[in-house]
Structure 1
Amino acid sequence: MYKTRKRLIFLSVNAAILILFIVISTMLMPERIKEYSFSLLISIPSVIFVLLLIGGDTVRSALDKRLRRKIFEKGETRYLTRFINRLRFCYSLDDLYKVFADVLEKEAGCSVLFVDREKNYILYNSPDRLASSRSVRDTLERNFPLSWPEGSYLIDDSLGIVSHAKDARGFFFVCGTQHLFIFCRYTKLFDADAFRQFYEEFSRFQSRSRTIASLTEISDLTKEWQLLADTQRSFLPQKMPSIRKLKLAAYYKPLINVSGDYYSVLQIDKSKTLLLLGDVSGKGLAAALIMGLVVNTLKIIDDKEDLESVIREIDRAIKNMKLQDKYTVLFLGLIDTDKMTMRYINASMSDPLVLSRAPDGYKVKALASNASLVGIIDLGDITVEERRLYRGDMILIASDGLSEIMDSNGIQFGSSDVFQETLRTSADKMPEEFINDIVRLIPEYNGGARLHDDVTMMAVKVG
């Protein structure tokens, strides 16, 4: 429904643009064409066409938003939309079962059957006659064995596959060895695109829950901390992406195998890139879980340009974990290389730095905190600030494990003259060389003493 109507909107608006273009061009064209230059005669319709295209894009966007709200937020499909939105923040089977009950059963009136085909085990079933029926389960097992290919399907009254939604009385998904059946008499009223979104989000949930279960099992049962650290590192970028007008490098050194530091780089489009670097309170399994939770939450949020909403979703996800006294500080920066700006929220991080060229050398500007700790207290008001960027700027984001390194006199590295001088003299280099200069300076500064915290850095060269 949605795709078809969206296509109709596209065709209708384009047809309207074409008709308006012909009508307006005819009205504005001079009657005695020979008296005007060729460039003028071409420029009039060109300007009209560009203006109509801009107006058409605006109209299309507004109509599409209205259509999406009508279908996905107001019609029957809203139940699937609510389920998908809740599923994004589920991290265990218990979380999933609660959403089954709250949304699919209570709100939508659906019946749910969740089966592990490999173990032939019922993971969840609604407390009604259909989902609890032995004959229904036997029929589904015969019709859809373990070898059934992954994907989403519609089912009819006889519990077989059906092609058309008008004949469907439910739908099901196959993800690995697990089959999820949802029975609903008004399945035909759901938008087909919602099934795709549901399946994709359910697949992500399975991957996410397996990772978290793996972290917990490794820590609680085997104590193989190196394996836990390797799993944790899989959340971090394996290599920095290649992005137009940006050069990036990162440094990550955990104090012990399992760290509370994390970072991520997500390219939103050809001109916009989102930077994340943060630090979870404490160490060990709980810190690793929060770290993975933050990185994963950022990845699944649709509108990554709404920085305030991103921070609030991360805050809500951490609080839902109910891990006592666990929180994070973090920096979110959205760089736009077309506008040459960076919009950012600094949630109590050690101040990131922007180094800009000046006639007398590089100037250092700190990006002070503008939000509170995330995941433990009320966030309150959040202000998204914007910083103008210039070609050649170097941005340094680092955890407090760097700035709080001390020399023999108890002077912190971040406030030392030698650190500030290194920043200015190395800011002209590429990010990797810039970071290497800082790293080489650390043992000289603290006399090779053992560090007391994780050290994580990200450097970004603009232009």
Structure 2
Amino acid sequence: LHRMADISAMIQTEARHVGHTAASPVNVLFVDCEAAFVQKIAPRLIHKKLSWQDVSFSEFQHSLESRTIIGSVVFGPSVVPDLESDTFVSLLKTLQSRHIAVFFRGCELKDAAVHPLTCVMTPETEHEMPARLETAAQYARQYLIEQRGLALENDLTEQLEMAGQVQRNFLPLRLPHTEHVRWAAAFRPAQWVSGDIYDIVRLDETHIGFYLADAVGHSMPAALLTIFLKQATVMRQTVGHDYRIFEPAEVIAELNRRMAQQEFAGCLFATCCYGLLNIETLELKLARAGHPYPVLVRGGTLSCLQSRGGLLGVFGEAQFEQISLTLQPGDKLFVYSDGGEPLIGTPKDDGTLAFGKPFQAVSEWPIDKMIQAYDQMAQNHHFGPGEIDDVTAVGLEILP
């Protein structure tokens, strides 16, 4: 009974994160399906270790290009009025081109044969749905392996998928929006797992701490290092009924000391940018360790906030400069990992960037739209052989 209660709780957990876009692979995407049907199927998917999400048709339309679906899409009966539209036919062709199986419930599809992976489920055949979804996921995994030329067995692929999902569990479920501060974040691994990690935490009534860290590389060792970075980043200390919020330079210095003490094999290093925002005074304090300079957007002008600080884990007693500024209504702060540098601009000799016109254009939008556009830029950009890397960003905006 306890196990069934746990599963029920998992099914009913809200999976969408406000202001947070993550390119998280999913095996089954339910589109406009009845809650009762999803809750009936979900335990079987969980048992088979298949990931799933439940979205509206509108969400599906707007996010299809940025989604990674390794398996199937299941359409509910409410999509029937859209079946003959040009938009829906185009969506169906996109799914076909990506070898994604399509299931329809409670409707008739005249041209189902157009898409060889399309199936119309009736009440008499719905008991076959879990097995069909599992088969579609297995097919999709095999297709990806063959297309990418990876010499991986199916079980290794599944383990990598699971590792990526476990890593995403370390990302914040919800962002700490306030009346005058809006947050957004994007997380796009170069492979199954990422060498980037971020967090945004409400520390008390007036302070929010946030950071973006980037382990050198984007392989499995770098991904494992991000878990260490997450656990070793201490923003606040509580003793009895009292607590102390650490200054950004202190947070970075302690993280550096812990990394240096570990003496990681293979010369593992990392970069990090940590910020502390007072949501009442709007004072922002920043410190960085080898990380790209944060970008301040103010009045249509973009500038890099420069401070000194080397890589984490090189010298245990290294010092890190802390800077502070007071934000104003309309200001935006954009913190990014270096994998996104080709999307932002061209490096200059002083370590700042000559911002590109596409990035300047999206910087004028509200922070949530700006981050979504940046994530889409990463999706569409053709990175060169030496440019392929994880792309992560954290942003905030001071509202009027």
Name the TM tier (shorter chain). Answer: 0.5 to 0.7
Tell me, in whole angstroms, the C-alpha distance in 1 between the residues paired with 2:383 and 2:225.
Answer: 33
Segments of 5+ residues of structure 2 without an aligned counterpart are 1-154, 238-243, 346-351
Q: 441-450 or 304-313: which moved more?
A: 441-450
Q: Is the 8 A contact 1:355 1:395 kept in 2?
A: yes
Other-structure match for 1:321: 262
* Aligned partner letter, 1:419: P
TM-score normalised per structure 2: 0.52
User: Quick one: percent identity of the two aligned structures?
Assistant: 20
Q: CA deviation at 1:440?
A: 3.5
Other-structure match for 2:394: 458
Tell me, in whole angstroms, the C-alpha distance in 2 between the residues paired with 1:286 and 1:417.
Answer: 32
Q: Would you tell me which structure has more strand in proportion to its own residues?
A: 2
* Aligned partner letter, 2:175: M
* Aligned partner letter, 1:260: G
Residues 378-393 of structure 1 correspond to what in structure 2 (within 5 A)? 378-393=316-331
* Aligned partner letter, 1:367: L
Find the partner of 1:333 among 275, 278, 296.
275
Other-structure match for 1:243: 178
What SS does the corresponding residue of 1:415 show, helix, strand or coil? strand
Other-structure match for 1:415: 354
What SS does the corresponding residue of 2:171 show, helix, strand or coil? coil
In structure 2, the CA distance between the partners of 1:421 and 1:308, relative to structure 1 (3 Å rule), is closer
What SS does the corresponding residue of 1:370 show, helix, strand or coil? coil
Q: Would you tell me which structure has more helix in proportion to its own residues?
A: 1
What SS does the corresponding residue of 1:335 show, helix, strand or coil? strand
Q: Is the 8 A contact 2:371 2:395 kept in 1?
A: yes
Find the partner of 2:369 among 422, 428, 433.
433
Tell me, in whole angstroms, the C-alpha distance in 2 between the residues paired with 1:368 and 1:430.
Answer: 24
Q: 320-329 or 262-271: which moved more?
A: 320-329
Q: Is the 8 A contact 1:275 1:334 kept in 2?
A: yes
Residues 160-239 of structure 1 correspond to what in structure 2 (within 5 A)? 224-239=159-174
Q: How many residues align?
A: 232
Q: 344-353 or 429-438: which moved more?
A: 429-438
Tell me, in whole angstroms, the C-alpha distance in 2 between the residues paired with 1:449 and 1:287.
Answer: 19
In structure 2, the CA distance between the partners of 1:444 and 1:292, relative to structure 1 (3 Å rule), is closer
**1:294 and 2:229 equivalent?**
yes
Q: Is the 8 A contact 2:293 2:306 kept in 1?
A: yes
Supply the RMSD in Å over aligned alpha carbons: 3.0
In structure 2, the CA distance between the partners of 1:350 and 1:257, relative to structure 1 (3 Å rule), is same
Find the partner of 1:268 among 188, 191, 203.
203
Tell me, in whole angstroms, the C-alpha distance in 1 between the residues paired with 2:262 and 2:224.
Answer: 9
What SS does the corresponding residue of 1:439 show, helix, strand or coil? helix
Q: CA deviation at 1:450?
A: 10
Q: Is the 8 A contact 2:218 2:389 kept in 1?
A: no
What SS does the corresponding residue of 1:344 show, helix, strand or coil? strand
Residues 12-23 of structure 1 correspond to what in structure 2 (within 5 A)? none
Other-structure match for 1:353: 295
Tell me, in whole angstroms, the C-alpha distance in 1 between the residues paired with 2:264 and 2:386.
Answer: 29
**1:403 and 2:347 equivalent?**
no
* Aligned partner letter, 1:459: G
TM-score normalised per structure 1: 0.46
Q: CA deviation at 1:332?
A: 0.5
What SS does the corresponding residue of 1:403 show, helix, strand or coil? helix
Q: Is the 8 A contact 1:373 1:379 kept in 2?
A: no
What SS does the corresponding residue of 1:404 show, helix, strand or coil? helix
Q: Is the 8 A contact 2:269 2:312 kept in 1?
A: yes
What SS does the corresponding residue of 1:241 show, helix, strand or coil? coil
What SS does the corresponding residue of 2:231 show, helix, strand or coil? helix
Tell me, in whole angstroms, the C-alpha distance in 2 between the residues paired with 1:420 and 1:436.
Answer: 12
Q: Give a deviation string over 1:177-200, Cα, whole Å, max 9, x none.
A: xxxxxxxxxxxxxxxxxxxxxxxx
Q: Is the 8 A contact 1:314 1:374 kept in 2?
A: yes
Tell me, in whole angstroms, the C-alpha distance in 1 between the residues paired with 2:337 and 2:309.
Answer: 16
**Bigger RCO (CA 8 Å, 6+ sep):** 2
In structure 2, the CA distance between the partners of 1:305 and 1:443, relative to structure 1 (3 Å rule), is same
Q: Give a deviation string over 1:19-44, Cα, whole Å, max 9, x none.
A: xxxxxxxxxxxxxxxxxxxxxxxxxx
Tell me, in whole angstroms, the C-alpha distance in 1 between the residues paired with 2:379 and 2:189.
Answer: 16
* Aligned partner letter, 1:385: I
Q: Is the 8 A contact 1:333 1:344 kept in 2?
A: yes
* Aligned partner letter, 1:399: S
Q: CA deviation at 1:420?
A: 4.5
In structure 2, the CA distance between the partners of 1:384 and 1:294, relative to structure 1 (3 Å rule), is same
* Aligned partner letter, 2:332: M
